[in-house]
Chains A and B, each alone.
Chain A
Amino acid sequence: MKVLILGATGHVGSRLVTHLNRQGYETIAASRGRLNTNIPGRITLDSLNLEALTHYLKGVDAVVNCVAGDKHSIGKGADILVQAAIVAGKPKIIHLSTMSVYGGHEGNITESHAFDPTYGWYAAAKCEAETYMQKYAAAGGQVISFRPGCVHGPGSHLWVSRPANLLRTYRLGDLGDAGDGWSNLVHVDDVVRAIHVGLKISKKAGEALFYNLAAPDSPRWNQYLFDLANGIDATPIKRISRLQLKLDSKILSPAIKIAQILCRKARRDASWLPEPLPPSLSRLFEQHIFLNAEKFSNEYDFTYMSYAQSLQESISWYNDIKY
């Protein structure tokens, strides 16, 4: 089976390429080419380029869409991918969506839950992308969308090194009721394995499948933050008040963000700047969303990596890059 991977230099994409190659798949690892990597056989492909994309899609059985980026590359990118795939003979699309499509909803969330594109640009773009996937199914294509929670594990800046850096500087810690939301963590390798399962699913064309992905034993954020702090020797942790979180995300972090942009524009090193803690992050910590991912594990007998093991892998990775 021949698979095209879009966003192949990203967190999930890069590990997916390695995994599929090891499993004997023939892969084409495509990325916009901004990142230098040593992924073998990587091609440069702008997924917003309809013609080029159509060309590559003609030769494959399936395409995995791991493209990240801004609103445009997510939303418009999905539109172009679907157009290209229709022209190219309808290869199977595995689309990496996100739990953000459920926006600010709280409680036990299954796949049938309504979308909430009003929650921010990211949610809006990801919702838009999913509507194109549905169009693809309606046009007779095969499509499987995965909606993972927070993808952590080795290589995860968002859910490992970012919180770890914030913990070390006492900008995160025990958040009390402001950290009472579920973390919905899922190890990057579980996402990779799920995509692999998705590639093997043969089903009637014209039907879109959606699956939430989150390890069912993921703890609440407070617990994860403590466990992480403990693993990276950032204890004793501090109780962080809502006021501090608010000041950090609404005043300090926007300033850091601006400084980062200025540095980048001036082609200066920005790595010395502290980690921003965006308001969307503090909002997530207190969002009581329990991403119910039973459907996928039940239908395909899929077992997630245990929380203890995924935590350990995240910690080892962080400690390795740090020292």
Chain B
Amino acid sequence: MIKNISEIPSDTQLEADVCIIGSGAAGLAVALSLAGRGLKIILLESGTEVFSKKTQKLYAGELADEKLHSPPDKYRHRRFGGSTAIWGGRCMPFDPIDFKQRDYIPQSGWPITHADLAPYFPVANRLLEAGEYAYDADTVFGINKPMFQGFASDILMTNNMERFSCPTNVGSRYRQRLSLADDIQVILGANCTGIRLNTTADHVDHLDVASLDGKKMAVKAKQIVVATGGIEVARLLLASNDICKTGIGNQQDLVGRYYQCHIAGNLGKLTILGPTSNVRHGYEVSAEGIYCRRRLSLTEETQQKIKAGNMVARLHFPKIVDPSHKVGVLSGLFLAKNFISYEYGKRLKDGQASLSTYLKHFSNIILDPIDTFRFLYHWLTKRTLAKRKFPSVILSNKSNQFTLEIHSEQYPNPDSRITLIDECDALGMPRVKVDWRYLPADIESVRRSLDVFVEEFRKSGVGNFEFDASKLEEDLTRFGAYGGHHIGTARMGKDPETSVVDANCKVHHVDNLYIASSAVFPTSGQANPTLTIAALSLRLADHLAQKMQAPCQSKHVVI
């Protein structure tokens, strides 16, 4: 059942077996998985099914450095379905090495392994509409469709691939399942404004709930799942400071710290020899109609040998801002950047452009009309009008020259953090300040990996890769933190001294408070987080059902 808080009388106290806060990828995975198991579930969602500026403003906050991170009300949406309303849909699981303790990455190591999540990844993959859980391109598409014809390396892999969700907004996609589930009550417009512990601070007594038009109520549930996203989890824990003065789970001053995104940038020059048909740089379509794409990555052993974090690289095109590429489409994108949403235009806004740059871009479009037209037609039919969207701009390869788009793990850093400030939002909740930082180690890790790339391409004989080592830091930090990935603010671990939640995502020392979010990831890996968030959330749902001895088996509401 889905209702709005306005339908519930003020000062009501609702009761449930499980209360989930947030209806993004995490919250909905928990709710859908728990449905049909004989439990009473309440899901509180701040927003409604349509975007509202007033609700979104609850997310606003401060930045320590505007160059390094986007404002906290960007790159996430406060509405039913959460940030999946605007996500890009790129899916890939965390790799086995991401869970391991690596002595070259301080504070690395999860209390669970890849195998613990293995049963949940396939369902998570389906939930996000990314098709079958199969991420080896050689298996899915066969070895006859290699990234580079004739390329062979034991340590630089090209078979690793990513899949794309529609991108699916989990809210609209699963709305009907939720509204028909008689054991779930979704309450829209309901903001959790406080997690209230009992006086011994080991149990959540109830949740405070408020609406923007002043309604207040409470929810008393046996188990609580906070699924408000990686920044908001920290905010809610820190702001709930009536019993624990430093916030819930924060005895060791860990909540909000170790904030990670990813290190990303386009750099270097990869030249492949021979005809352009030697390279498959675009998307392949799997049997289920899923767009898939190969990426470059290093084997686990190599990462360990060179002591580098996990990283992937995708083939990319020349820098858009510089009109000397002479590609009409790129110039068109450059000129359109002001019409593209903040989240997707950000990485196109590269430095200041002079009038003459603009003119050169115009001339590129005029001189390259056929390609521009073909591109626009493709964009219109495969993206604007399509339900399963072509994931990104792919140009025809005319030169066999590419830059690499790097997406790399960040080293956990306690000084990179989310804190509360004095200013409050319309509900009286203190706003956040985002102080995202990176470490020299993050850059050096990429450098070591790229050195291997250089060497492997040289040895392979199929081409040549080079990058400007002196500009590496600049190239990787030009746009600051990679947007939308909010990781590490309530890290998971065995030891309560060094972590916030345990292996079951339960806040240490509080017997009924759980967190479903990338906030619990101790490290960031190479992967975009959402698939792993969903898998972890499904695992949490199973744990809760078992803990509560749920009367029925799941009626597979999730698939």
Query: CB of B386 within 8 A of chain A?
Result: yes
Q: Does B173 contact A (CB under 8 A)?
A: yes
The binding surface of chain B is classed by DSSP as loop
Given A107-B182, A239-B387, CB of A177 within 8 Å of CB of B173 = yes
Whether, in the assembled complex, B180 has its beta carbon less than 8 Å from a beta carbon of chain A, the answer is yes
The answer on a CB contact under 8 Å between B182 and A237 is no
8 A Cβ contacts from B529-559 to A:
555, 559
Nearest residue (CB) in A for B290 is A236
Among B280-288, B337-345, B360-368, B488-496, the stretch in contact with A: B280-288
A237 is contacted by which of B174, B177, B288, B386 (Cβ under 8 Å)?
Answer: B288
Contact indicator A174/B288 (Cβ below 8 Å): yes
**Chain A 128-155 against B: per-residue CB contact (8 Å), 1 yes, 0 no?**
0000000000000000000000000000
C-alpha gap A40/B97 in the complex (Å):
67
* Residues of A in contact, count (CB < 8 Å): 23
How close is A175's CB to chain B, nearest CB, in angstroms? 9
* B288, A288: Cβ atoms closer than 8 Å: no
A240 nearest CB neighbor, chain B only: B387
B386: which A residues are within 8 A, CB to CB?
A: 239, 241
> In the complex, what's the smallest C-beta–C-beta distance from A66 to chain B, in angstroms?
31
CB contacts (< 8 Å) of A238 on chain B: these are: 289, 388
Q: Are A176 and B129 in contact (CB under 8 A)?
A: yes
- The answer to whether A235 and B166 touch across the interface, beta carbons within 8 angstroms, is no
Identify which of residues 106-132 in chain A touch chain B, using a CB-to-CB cut-off of 8 Å: 106-107
- B172 CB-CB contact with A under 8 Å: yes
Are B180 and A237 within 8 A (Cβ)?
no
Nearest-CB distance from B189 to chain A (Å)?
Answer: 22
Cβ A236 vs Cβ B177 within 8 A:
no
Distance to closest chain A CB from B402 (angstroms): 26
CB neighbours (8 Å) of B555 from chain A are: 290
Contacts A177-B175, A180-B176, A288-B177 given; does A239 touch B287 at CB 8 Å:
no
Contacts A174-B289, A176-B129, A177-B175 hold; do A239 and B180 have CB atoms under 8 A apart?
A: no
- Chain B interface extent, by class: 20 to 34
Residues in A neighbouring B559, C-beta threshold 8 A = 219-220, 223
Q: Is A318 an interface residue (CB 8 A)?
A: no
Cβ contact within 8 Å between B166 and A237:
no
B180 pairs with A107, CB closer than 8 A: yes
Which of A176, A240, A288 is the one whose CB lies under 8 Å from B180?
A288
Q: Which B414-449 residues have a C-beta within 8 angstroms of A?
A: none
> Quick one: given A107-B182, A240-B387, are A177 and B287 in contact (CB under 8 Å)?
no
Cβ of A163 to closest chain B Cβ, rounded Å: 16
Q: Which B residues lie within 8 Å of A288 (CB)?
A: 176-177, 180
Question: Inside 8 A of A240's CB, which chain B residues have their CB?
Answer: 387
Q: How far is the CB of A146 from chain B (nearest CB, A)?
A: 23
Using Cβ atoms and an 8 Å threshold, which residues of chain A touch B285?
236
Decide yes or no whether A230 CB sits under 8 A from chain B. Answer: yes
Interface centre among B168, B172, B176, B285 (most CB of A within 10 A): B176
Name which residue of chain A comes closest to B389, CB basis.
A239
Q: Is A237 within 8 A of B172, CB to CB?
A: no
Min distance, Cβ A308 to any Cβ of chain B, angstroms: 15
User: Which residues of chain B are near A219, meaning CB under 8 Å?
Assistant: 559
The verdict on A226 contacting chain B, using a C-beta distance below 8 Å, is yes
Residues of A within 8 A of B175 (CB): 177
Scoring B residues 183 to 210 as 1 if CB is less than 8 Å from chain A, else 0, what string do you get?
Answer: 0000000000000000000000000000
Query: In whole angstroms, how far apart are the Cα atoms of A223 and B172 in the complex?
Result: 19
Contacts of B286 in A (CB 8 A): 236
Q: A177-B172, A177-B175 are in contact. Are A237 and B287 (CB under 8 A)?
A: yes
What chain A residues lie within 8 Å of B168 (beta carbons)? Answer: 176
Bound together, the chains give a CA A223 to CA B285 distance in angstroms of 18
Residue of B176, B177, B289 touching A173 (CB-CB under 8 A): B289
Residues on B with beta carbons closer than 8 Å to the beta carbon of A174? 129, 288-289, 388
Chain A residues whose C-beta falls within 8 Å of the C-beta of B180 in the assembled complex: 106-107, 288
- Complex CA–CA separation, A240 to B168 (angstroms): 14
Does B173 contact A176, Cβ atoms closer than 8 Å?
yes
Contact A235 B387 (CB under 8 A): no
Interface centre among B172, B286, B287 (most CB of A within 10 A): B287
Contact, CB under 8 Å: A176 / B166: yes
Query: What is the CA–CA distance of A240 and B387 in the complex, to the nearest angstrom?
Result: 7
Contacts of A180 in B (CB 8 A): 173-174, 176-177
Q: Which residues of B contact A290 (CB under 8 A)?
A: 555
Task: Name A153-191 residues within 8 Å CB distance of B.
Answer: 173-174, 176-177, 180
Those of B150-189 within 8 Å (CB) of chain A: 166, 168, 172-177, 180, 182
Binary contact track B364-402/A, C-beta < 8 Å → 1, others 0: 000000000000000000000111100000000000000
Q: Are A177 and B176 in contact (CB under 8 A)?
A: yes
Q: Which residues of B contact A173 (CB under 8 A)?
A: 289
- Residues in B52-97 with C-beta less than 8 Å from chain A: none
Neighbouring A residues of B388 by C-beta, 8 Å: 174, 238-239
Which A residues from 30 to 49 make CB contacts under 8 A with B? none
- Name 10 extra pairs, CB < 8 A, besides A177-B173, A236-B285, A238-B388: A174-B129, A176-B166, A176-B168, A177-B175, A226-B287, A230-B287, A235-B288, A237-B288, A239-B166, A239-B289
Using a CB–CB distance below 8 Å, which chain A residues touch chain B?
106-107, 173-174, 176-177, 180, 219-220, 223, 226, 229-230, 235-241, 286, 288, 290
16 residue pairs A–B, Cβ–Cβ below 8 Å: A106-B180, A107-B180, A174-B289, A176-B166, A177-B172, A180-B176, A180-B177, A226-B287, A229-B287, A235-B287, A235-B288, A236-B285, A236-B287, A236-B289, A237-B289, A238-B289
